[in-house]
């Protein structure tokens, strides 16, 4: 379930928070990149660990960034609802965006963190 999705106060961009039966994460998007961070308990801007980052295509119009962020957030939530772990959800969302040239490159360390637990 998407708990919230709003404009960030400082620096622009958007921040959305998801908690479902598979994972809890935050998605933070600015003009250049999208970061996925994991957390335990309640979301707090100080209580999170980044696990993935995607660089967005610089040619994308600024007006589209909000739509892209919202689409990523909804896709991540749907993946979690369908039972994917966070690493698999990130791979599916960012991988699909990479094939559509929305993302130029990405790094997904969520699977590594889950394996280390």
Residues 41-85: tens digit of each pLDDT: 888 778 889 999 999 999 988 888 999 999 999 999 999 999 999
Distance spanning both ends of the chain, measured CA to CA:
24
Q: Measured between alpha carbons, how far is 72 from 92 in angstroms, rounded to an integer? A: 10
What pTM was estimated for this model as a whole? 0.90
Q: What pLDDT is recorded for position 56?
A: 96
Give me the pLDDT at residue 9, please: 63
User: What value does the mean pLDDT of the chain take?
Assistant: 89
Residue of higher predicted confidence among 29 and 40: 29
Residue 112 has what pLDDT? 66
Q: List the chain domain ranges.
A: 2-114
The secondary structure element, H or E, covering residue 76 is: helix 62-81
8 A C-beta contact, residue 4 and residue 16: yes
């Amino acid at each position: 379930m998407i708990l919230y999705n709003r404009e960030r106060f400082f620096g622009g961009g958007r921040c959305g928070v998801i908690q479902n039966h598979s994972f809890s994460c935050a998605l933070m998007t600015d003009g250049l990149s999208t970061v996925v961070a994991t957390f335990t308990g309640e979301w707090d801007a100080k209580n999170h660990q980044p696990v993935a980052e995607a660089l967005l295509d610089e040619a994308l119009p600024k007006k589209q960034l909000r739509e892209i962020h919202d689409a990523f957030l909804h896709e991540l939530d749907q993946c979690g609802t369908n039972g994917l772990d966070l690493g698999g959800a990130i791979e599916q969302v960012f991988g699909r965006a990479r094939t559509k040239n929305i993302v130029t490159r990405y790094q997904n360390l969520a699977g590594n963190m889950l394996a280390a637990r």
